[in-house]
Chains A and B, each alone.
Chain A
Amino acid sequence: MTVYVENTNRWRFQIHGVLVILKKNILLYYLKPPVLIFGVLFPVFFFLAFKMGRPIAAENIVPGMVAMALWFTSSSVGPLITPWERRAKTYERLIVTPVSLQAIIAGDILSGVIFGACLSIVPVILGLILTDAAVRNLPFLVIGVIFGAVNFSSLGVLLAAPPASSPSNIMLLSNLVRLPLLFVSGIFLPIPGMPSWARWIAPISPLSYAGDLIRVGFGQSGYFPLWLSPLVLIIFTAVLMWGAYKFHRRWRAKGL
Chain B
Amino acid sequence: MVKEHKNIIEVKGLIKRFDRVKAVDGISFAVGDGELFGFLGPNGAGKTTTVRMLTGVLKSTEGTATIQRHDICSEPLQSRAHIAVVPEEANVYLDLSVWQNIMLMADLYGIPRKQRIRKAEELLDLLGLSDRREHKARTLSKGLRQRLMLCAALVSEPEILFLDEPTSGLDVQSRQMIHKIIRQLNSQGLTIFLTTHNMEEAENLCSRVAIINEGKIVAIDIPDRLRTAIEARQYVEVVFLDKRLSTQEVKSLSSVSSVDMAGNVIRAYTETPGKTATEVACLAKSRDIEIEQLCTRKPSLQEVFLYFTNQDKKAAMQ
Contact = CB atoms under 8 A, between A and B. Distances in A.
Interface of A: 1, 4-9, 13, 16-17, 20, 23-24, 27-28, 88-90, 92-100, 252-253, 256
Given A1-B82, A1-B157, A96-B55, A8 B93 contact: no
A6 B69 CA distance: 13
B107 interface: yes
Interface residues of B, number: 37
A156 B232 CA distance: 62
30 contacts: A1-B81, A1-B157, A4-B156, A5-B82, A6-B78, A7-B110, A8-B80, A8-B81, A9-B78, A17-B108, A20-B108, A23-B107, A24-B104, A28-B93, A28-B95, A88-B94, A89-B91, A90-B93, A92-B87, A92-B89, A93-B90, A93-B149, A96-B56, A96-B57, A96-B80, A97-B80, A97-B109, A99-B108, A253-B57, A256-B57
A24 B159 CA distance: 26
A16 B104 CA distance: 12
B58 interface: yes
A9 B83 CA distance: 15
B82 A90 contact: no
Contacts of A6: 78
B77 A1 contact: no
Interface in B199-239: none
B57 A5 contact: no
Contacts of B96: 27-28
A13 B109 CA distance: 9
B32 interface: no
A252 B57 contact: yes
Nearest to B48: A256
A1 B158 contact: yes
Contact of B159 (A1, A9, A92, A256): A1
A88 B75 CA distance: 29
A98 B80 contact: yes
Contacts of B158: 1
A92 B90 contact: yes
Given A5-B82, A98-B108, 14 more contacts: A1-B159, A5-B78, A6-B78, A9-B77, A16-B107, A20-B108, A24-B104, A88-B94, A92-B87, A93-B87, A93-B149, A93-B152, A99-B108, A256-B52
A29 B227 CA distance: 52
A95 B55 CA distance: 9
Interface centre among B68, B100, B109 (most CB of A within 10 A): B109
A203 B136 CA distance: 47
B57 A90 contact: no
B117 interface: no
Interface in B61-79: 68, 75, 77-78
Contacts of B90: 89-90, 92-93
B100 A27 contact: yes
B85 A93 contact: yes
A17 B109 CA distance: 8
A7 B85 CA distance: 20
